[in-house]
Structures are given as C-alpha cells and as structure tokens.
Structure 1
Amino acid sequence: MKRIIIFVKSLAFIVLLLEFSGLNAQGIDSSKYKTEYFQIIDFNDFQSARLAEVLLLELNLQREKQGVDTLSSLQFLTFAAEDQAQYCAQIDNVTILQSGSKKKDTGKRSIYYGGSKNAFEMIDKTNVKDGSVYKNYQQVAEDIVVKIMTNQKKMDVAFNQLWIFAGIGAAIDPSGKKLYYSMVFGDYSSFNEGAARKNELDIPFSKKRYGLFPYDEKACKKYDKNKMLAELQKGLYVKDDKVYFKSDKYKEIQKILKDSKDGIGVDIVQRDQYPCVGSNIVDNNLVNKGVMVKRIWSSKMLKKNLVVGDKERKKNVDVLIGKLPAAIAKLDKDQYEMNLVFIKDKYVCKNIPPSYIEAGGVEYNNLLELLADTVNPPGTEEYSPRATKSTLSFKIPFEKGKSVYKQEDIDPFIKALKEPEFIINELNISAYSSIEGTDEINRSLQLKRAESIKNALQAKHKDKIISNVTTADNWEEFKRDVAGTEFSNLAGMTMEEAQKNIRENSLDKKLENILKNHRYAKIDMKITYDIDGDKEQAYVVKMFNDAVKKGDYIEALRVQKYLFKQVVAKKYTKEAVFEMEIPESQATAGLAMNKLWLEQFVNNGDVDEDCCSRVENLNQLDPSNQYILFNNLYCNFIYAPLGDEEHVRKIQEIIDGMYNKALSKKTIDMLNLEYQMTIIKTLDTLDDPGPLFAESMERIKTIVDIKESNWQNSLKLAYVFMGNNDYEFAARLLEPFVNGKYVFEELVFAYISLCTKTEEKLYTSTFTKAVTKAIEQNPERFCNLINKGKLTFQVFENEKVKEMYCKKCKSTD
C-alpha cells in the first residue's frame, strides 16, 4: 500500500517537543480526559481499550499541533492491533509478523478482521512501571507519544496526513514489566465491504491478478516522488474501440520503465461502481479497481511504437495497449474512466485516475526554454531584403567538335556557383578554341558555341539580355602549358608555325590532354538577385553567410534576426537554418546560439544533453554573452546536480549579476524563479533543508511580489508552483487556509484540483473540508465538476465526499 511521508522539518520538530514539555509543566486540560485515564494500571485487570482511548487522544493532540488531521478509531483496525500486541507480549518480542498464514502480517490481520490489506502498522514496547510502581494509563500514553516524537521514522508514520483511521492495541508481557503496543493506521481503502457486491455490476471488475503484485515500497520507491506521472494519464485515448497511450515524454518514461517486467496497463473504472446507496463496489485487496486491459511491457512499447522516424521515436511514443472490452465499448464515455497503471518488476506502483488543474488565475507559466537574441537594439534599423547587383563569372569547357549547347548543359555550371536565383542584365562571352584547327574553322566553331550558350541563358529570361561575344585562339595558354614538356619547342614558334607543325606531324592526339583545357567559354554576367516570393530565402541566407565571411558580425546578426522571424513564421523552410555557415569563435558564438535555437525549433527538438553540451561549449567560447549564459544556466538546472551550499550561492550570484544587463528583468526573473524551484524541489525531500530552503521561498515571494502572508498571496504563490508542475507543494501552501473558517471560493476549487494530482490527498479530511466549503459556496459549480467529467468520480472513494455529492447533486443513484 502506497504511503508518502510528509517530512517534519527539524525546527518544527524542536518546537513540537518544547510544546509537549510545556503541556506537562502547565498541567493537563481536564475537560479532554476521563477520570479513569489517571487510574493506576492493575496487572491482573489491564484495560487495553482504556489505554487505546487515551493514547489516541494524546496522539491526536500532537497531530493537531502539527496541523495534521486527527484520527478516528476503526473497529477492525483495533482488533488487528490488539491481536498483534497480545502476540508480541506472549513471545516477549517486537515483531510485525505472526506464525501461521491467516494472520501472518498486518494486511492479512486487517483482512481477517473485516478490512482490506491496506493498513500500516507500528509496533513497539515501553515500561509499564516507574521503578516498582505501576504508572497510570495517561502516563503510559504520554510516554509512548514522547517516544514517537523523539524518533523521526516513527514520527513520519504517526504524523502522516494520509491516515484517517487508527486502531490501537496493548498488552503487558507475563513478567508485568513491559507493555507492547500496536498502532494500525488506515484510510478509506482499508474498508472492503464493496468486494462482495461485485455481481451487482453489469460489467464486473477483474479479479484475475495477471501475475501482478500489490504495491511494494522498495520496488516502487522511484515512483512515489515522480511528479510527471499524474500528467501521463492524459495520454490514454480510445480509437476504434482500442486503447492507446501517447506521450511526448518517452525519454523520461524509459528512465523509469527500464527492465523487462516494467510496463503500463489500463484500469477501466465504471461510475456504477460508486452508487449513492451502499458501499463502493471495489475490491481493495486487488491491484485494480475496475476492468483491466492487457499490459504492455517496456520492450514491447519500444517495438510497437507507432511514431514514425528514428529521431521522433526517441522522444515520442504512441502505442496500442489493447482492445477496449466489448461491454465497456457500449457504454457512454461519461460512464467510465481510464486509469493509467505503472508496473515495476510486476509490482503495481501507481494506479492513476484522471486529473485536472483549476488554472484560471495562473499568473506565472514558468516553463523555461532556450533563449535566442531576436531583439534589435534601439536605433538599429531592421534588416529588410533588397535586390542587389553583382557580377558572376564561370567557365564552360567545350567538348572537341561540339558546337551546340543546351540549357541542361549549362545548368550544372550555374548551380556550381551556389548563388541564389538571379536575373541576367548583361552577358559577356569570351569563346576560346585550341590552336590545332585553322583560323576559319576555329572562329566558326567559337561563334556557334557562344551563340548557343547565349540562347540557352536567354531562354530562362523574359527580358532580352544585352550580350557581347568575343572569340580568340588560346595561344598564350598553349605556350604556357607546353613549357617543360616534350613539345616545349612549339612555344618558341609563331602560332601559325605551331599549327602547321602539329598538323604535319599529327601531334593533335598526343597534345589532346593539353589542348582540351583550351577549349572553353568564359562567361561574365552582370546580374540582379531575384528575391520575389520563395526566392528570397536563399538570397537572405547568402547575405548572412557573406557578412560572416567578411567578419561583419553586426550585419550578420541583423540579417539573422530577420531570417529568424521568417523561420518562426514558417515563411522559410528548415534549409534556411542549416545553410547558415558559422565558424566556431568567440565573435560568432551568439550567432551559433541563435542557429542552435532555430535547429531545435524546426526539428521540434527537446533540450536534451547533446543540445546542452553544445550550449556549454558556446558559453566557454563567449562567457560574456548573456543569452548563452542564460541557456547554460537553464541546462544546468535540468541536468546538473544542485551541488553543495557554496555552489548554490555561486550560481545565485551569477543570476543576480544578470539583472540590468542585456536581458529584461522579466526574463531574469523567470530564470531566477526556475532556480528557486530547483532548490526547493531538491531540499524539500530532506529532513533538514537548512537555510537555503527559506531563502529560496523569500526570493520567490520577492519575484512574485508577495509582501505579506495571507490567503491571497498564498494562492498567488501556489499558482507559481502550479505553473512549474509542482502540484504537491502548491497544495501544501493552500491547506492552512482550507482549514480556516473563511475561505475564498477560487482557493477552494484550486485546492480540489491540486488534490487530483496527488491522489492520496483525495482521502484526507482536508480534502473533505474543501469539498464541504465548495458545496457551501457554489454547489452548482462543484456538482458540474463531476457531472461534466472534470473531477474524477473516483473521489467517491472518500465516503464523506460521496455522501455530500449524493445529497446535494443527485437525490438517488
């Protein structure tokens, strides 16, 4: 049975002891104590029930001082406690176990006496005499409570706010010196009368265990503090009468579902299981409440993931769990709910019902993300693309004897320029031929080649291109290239003499490797870049890359900010991001950070460890860049451990130093708030969180502008924690006011919604008080929460809540 311990901080612990000592010094409030509590214990006529009564009174007095609800006595828990106390006294030993199978452990004893297995027991012993004189019942009860309060583990059990009921038993050992006592704690799930009503359901709940085991504290330890799990239930959906699970937190899920017998399942709970008349039709000894759908193990989840693409499959999951039972499929959707079941090594660690958050007044949604430099400094003109002119040059080599060149022959040379689209304003073609032909043949060939190139380029343009064609033999290049070869003598001749020598000695084949390089057209184009429509993207990317190559980083950032806006607006494609060419240097670190942000954006990527590693490298290149520093700190909050007090204060100093610099106060406040949340979440699990915890709370109050402690500011602060998905802490902030006499309606309904995120709170008397006040203040609003499916009907496991709903919201079931 799951039990989350609410830790009592050291300071509160000391105060509690002082208060208890003061009670003894000042005397006892006689109105709360019966005369028989002060009677001396008679070994031969020991009144176990009397000790149980006064011990529960003493314990409840201290629970009240701790702000924890008092416990009510429950008969079958009392029987279970008496049984074990007597057993321990007989064998003169403190143990939670008995010999035999029917009453072997606490759960079985609770079942034996009419409850469910869901009970928790604390057993110990104490002296029943003061020297040779027996103590009275109140003294023994007081001794037991003091012993509990001086032991942190016992306090964590006895002052756990989740307990609603208790049963206490006591027995004196045969020597008459020691008293053994047992305290058995429980909540609404400790009852089990509804198990016998199974056959009243048209669709009975599953009794088969499917090889699964009940909650085990050791196996399920990592699940108890995982704040993500409640949100994952929203990933369950039905399509074509099949149950699927979908989440974008697959990486985090894989961290907890590691082994072959880890997995998830679905428990389908029907509204008919919570009738207004009689007990709930649930068997609390089972691992499920309703109809179980087939489980899916972690390995199968990976193999059967319906998400397409290797990268997407790493962070997203969409998997078929199983068929919706045919009888359930016929029900209206408001007649059943799907609970998400988490299984660890075959132990059912979580059975999560639907939840919601009353977030109408959230002022802070502080889910941080990477920051990019997108704001132009005052006085800086925003970049706007304007078509510029340029001159482009390239060569087209000629094949021997070929005179006609088509568009497809020329396109590869244009593409090799890696230029954006352009319009040719003027074309200058210098056509060269090798010297082996006659002047007449060469000139004719040159003109044909040049003309075909001009026509091919003209075909791509509406307006007529101004063109100039010149032709020449490539005599100078020939002389240069034959120098140092066996044909070097030709360089000392005139061109006519060389041509004659080549023809008479048939040297053209031997010289072909040289001659082929002399047949080409040199193209010089005066152009204007075409930036109409989709053509703008490539031009802007070129302007950015050109500015970076020139070292004009101010202009590069100006262009990049324009490019950034177009990508975010989805006017540019992802190629605009990946075609940015940025060398690794201090001067370009800020540009690289913006590119990294855009890569994450277009790929819908997570801020994973690889991303954060790149941010850290950029931070090392340029530690002064405030955007990169912000992102590096954010990454540290996610992946780096909190560190010791000195490290925490060092990081805080860095954050404080970021105010009044490049980033706005609001932006640094968000970062600061995130860090305080990180500190609180880490330290809140410790017995003694030290001064850092209090300091972080004060910083949060300053950021959120809370100047005094009242319900308005507590609600405001709770919304901050809700914005950070820390629902449990947000609920704890509101609980003192829920228990107050006058409560604001929004606070009540916010608290009710927070309790759905921490299921155990639904069974506490504080939740019951919240529902009571909600019905008093706005009964229609409360009834609609359940009637319209916002608040799970499984809150009716709290019998008092069910009773109030049935009385106020519907007369009969």
Structure 2
Amino acid sequence: MKYIILFILYISFFNASSQNTYDIRDPAENFGTKCSECLYVLNNIPTEVNRGIDVDEHQNIFFFMSDADWFYHLIKKGGDGLAIDLVLKNQYSCASDKVEYKNYISKGHLLPPIYLKDIKKNSVLTEEGGIIIKIGTIPDEYINLDYELNLVILKNKYCCQYTVLFNIRRYKWDLLDMGLFADSIMYKTKINDSGTGSQRIVIVSKKKMKFSVPFEKSKTSYSTEDIKPLYDSLMLNDYEIKKISIRAYSSVEGSTNYNLELQNKRAISIVKALQSYQNQEIEYEITTAENWMEFYYDINQTKYSELGSLSKKEIKKRLTDEVYLAELEPYLSKHRKAIIEIEFEKKEHKDMTDSELVSAFNKSVNNNDNVKMQELLDLAFSRIINGKSPNNFLGSFEIPNQLEFGSLMNNKDVYKYFLDLEDVQTTYQSMLQLNEMLPNNRKIAYNIISLKFLLWINGDVEMDPLLFKKEIKKLRSVGISSELVNRILVNYDIVMAEQYMIIRDYRNKDKMLKDIYYKYKNSSPNSSDLLKIAQFFVAYGKYDWAIKLLKPYVTQVDSDEDLLFYYINLTIIDLDITKKSEYKRILLNAIDINKERFCNLFNSTSKGGISFQILDNEVLKMNYCESCN
C-alpha cells in the first residue's frame, strides 16, 4: 500500500504580524502579475505528476516531485523557492476557535525558505525522472509534538501559493478478479486477518444472501419459532449456513448505551435461533448502531426538518417529549432493523472418511456417473480449503482422459490451481489440451483467456495487445456473459493505461481511462470492483471520476464500509461537497459503522490521518467534536 500526499491549493493573505517572514514578500494587490507565471505552470502540471513532503528519522524535511522537468519549470530563477509552515494539532482543539493566519504566509511556525541555488545543491534525481530535495529540518522544540507541514511556493521571493497537504491514499493499479470457471465462476482473493494484521488467501465460491429484518419496538429476543419463516425462505436444501454478519440498528430516541445493548441482544438471539436448525457451528459478526442516517434522511423536507440542524444530544432531548415522540413513531419504526448477510456452503457427508470418499468416487467412475463424480470432487475440494483434508488429497481422484469427463477434468485443474498445486503456466497448458478435446466449451475458453492474461502481465508470454483484445471479445460468441467479458476488458485497459503511462503517452492513457469509466458508469459492480476501479482512477489523478463512481453506493445505511470510507477520503476536503445535508448523513453513517476509523481520519498525516487541518471546516469539526472528543 502506498501513501502519496495530495496537494490542495489554498491561498490567503493577511496583514503581517511580528513573526519572522524572512525575505518573503506579500504580493497583495499585485498577486495577478507577480504570481501569474507560477500559477500558469501549476495549472498545467499533469495530474499524474505527484508531489509531497516527507520527514526522515533525523528530522530532515524532503520535498519530492515525480517529474523533475516540471519542477524546474516551476522553480527556475534565483528568487524562486520553497518554504515550510509547521502547524500544531493543539491549535485545533474542540475548545478553541478557528485557526487564524498569523500573517500573510503562516498560521503556524514558518521555517527558513530555500531558493534555487541551494535547491540544486540539496537535490537528487531519481531513476524514474523525479526529484527529491532537502528543504529544511524540524526544530528541536517541535520534534515530540503532533504537527503537519504546509508548503509555500515562492516566485521571485513572493508568496504565490500556500498549500495545505492532505494524506489521501493513492494506489497503483490492481486487476479485478477474473477468476476461473469450474461448475461456476470462482475467485481466489486476499483478505486481511484482523488478528495478525497479515493477509491470507481464500477461495470465494460460496453462496451469499443479504436482506433486512425489521425489529418490533418492544421485542427483545427472537425464538426458533420466530425465525422459522425466515429459515424456510432460505431454501437451503444441500447448503448450510457458514457465517452471518448482522448490522443491528435502533431508532435514535433513548439512551445510546441501552439502544446498542438491546440491538446486540436481538442480533445474538437471531444467530442462536438459526443455529438451532443445524449442527455445524455458525460464525457470526455483529455491529450495532443508532440509525441516525435514515433518521436525518426521513425528516428532511417534513415539518420536522428543523431537527436536521440540531446535534444528536439536542435531538434526544426533544424526543423525551412523549407526544412529540409519538408523532415521529411512523418514521422511527422503520429505523429499527437488522441488515443480515448470510454466507452458505455445501453440506458435507460427515460420516464419510477420506478413503471412503475416494472409493465412492472410483465407483462413480466405473458407473459413468458424472453427477456423482462432480459432487464427490466438490466435497473433496471443500474439505481441503476448510483445512479438513490435506492439499494432496485431490491427487487421489483419478479422472479418465475421455471426452465425457472433459468438464470434470477442467474442474479438477481449476481446483489444483486454486490450491497452488499447479502454477499458471501448467494450468494454461492443461486448458489448451482440454480445448482440443472440447473446442466449444465456454468454461474452458474463458479459463484459457483468464490464464493467458496472467501470463501476459507477468511477462511469460509475448503477444500483440490488439489481437489479444479481439480474443477476449470473442468470448461472447461462445456464451460468456458480457459482464465477465467486460471485467477482462477493464483489466486490459488497466494494463494498457500503465504501459502508456510508462512511455508518457498521456493521450492513449486517457483513452483507456475513459473506456473503464464508461464500462462501470452503467453497470452494477460489486464493492470490491468499485473500490479497485476508484483507487485506479485516483492513482491517475481522476478524483472526480472516482467520486462520481462511488457516490450512488454510499448513501444507504448498509453501504460497504471500505467504499464508504474511501468516498469520504476523497471528498472530505471539498467544501462544496461537505456543506450539503446529504454529506452529514454520510458522515453519521460512517460514525455508526466504525467510529474509531472515522475519528482517525482527523489524525495528523504522519499518523495515518487525512489531516487535522480539515477541522477548519465547521461541519467536520462539529461531527468530530461530538463523536470523537
């Protein structure tokens, strides 16, 4: 994961005070003429050119820019230079007023400027064509304090730009999961292990279902009988529940602690009731919150809209009036609910040992019973990925090399690949052989393209990109859905954009970006895809595209947490967006879903936050001080 500092322009001039401004001059009413050249260059620097500041273990301050040529377009004369303004977090306490500038150039502690002559002495060029410059040192009295560094750009010693730096996560491109076809499409993905902080590989092939369950106001628990209609509606048949994730919401009136405790009891009672229908232990995850997001949304444009301008504490006080509370009950009743996501997996024959499973498979081979063979092969794979059988167990299942077993051979090769028993090249060659046996099999055709793509990006095979694109599109003619074909085409555009970027062909790079944007603008992608595409756009400076892409998916109470927080990362510094009433609801939802993560956004950039200086925004400061202080 890579962190890059995003620059946000902020220019403001004030009357000078007693603080030392060195030889830096205030352009004042002559700003347009004194700074025109500087602003022209800044406005024309490509969005792909990154800039930022870092501090090493010796407290040396470094400025970096990914394109040295553009830097020297900006800083090219003796009086051109850079300076640092050091700002402290304690200036932004909830008890203090808005931070004011001490003079036309500083709202903190201004460090000595560095000009072109010394910049050249203190700079090094990177192999990629960038530049790194030592521009100062943190004063001893600030080393142990929580601070941030703002950048001042000087033109002929005039202060032409004061820049607050925000820490926005930027990612290099990452491919969408293309997966491989067995009986259905399967994916191999990485997930974070919350216990160790490491990542582990999981095979995504389980069924999932998501739905909402309303809570009755006076009901505190759910029995087996209460849950039976829900359980019957799942129509599990050959499946059982593997995991349940519940977001339990209360309405906003009453004690917060009581509300959260009540929702937790309700959620646990649902899990226990579902557990009573099966022996396999159900994993579960429960989060609880008061449903502030939907409360603010529902009262908007009603006679109760005045509540929208009040704090949570003030609203709760108003709702102690029983008459007023009764009037609002039709709205509040809709806010008490659980958003439940259930993950299923196929039931196992627990009475069958591994050796008995192999014997049953061999018997099915002799009987040419493909259906039974597939069922037993799936069971073996399930046991392996759940750690109940060793990885080499799959080798015990011998499939005759015959036409009628071609589909089974495909599935076994896919399973071996996902279990790391075979690499990409070996699996690709196996698929080519299967394709000769079953030339019109859509699953094998898809697997060949998916594996060939991986070989291409790993540099293991050379091919003409345009011809390969035609091969990808041909998958539609063998019955592969447009959705899956588009996923591969998006990956193709991602790879080509990177290649064009390397040779600085910005025109063709932008063409690839547009292709991706319009493919996803009119589709219904999953949360993982959305996040990857948004991160990809941000890596290429297309923040507005990422914001537009994510916006429709972050306005619901059951929004994906990572999508929601990434959207906030991209928008929280935009005053035009944050002043809107709907943004307040988005922030409240983020607080309800993960308050600690929300509060950490306001940490200093060196501690992983976006910046504590976003507390200059009164809307953000109110939410922060109410929820985090």
TM-score interval (norm. to shorter):
0.3 to 0.5
Higher strand proportion (structure 1 or 2):
2
Q: Which has the higher contact order (CA 8 A, sep 6+)?
A: 2
TM-score w.r.t. length of structure 1: 0.34
TM-score w.r.t. length of structure 2: 0.42
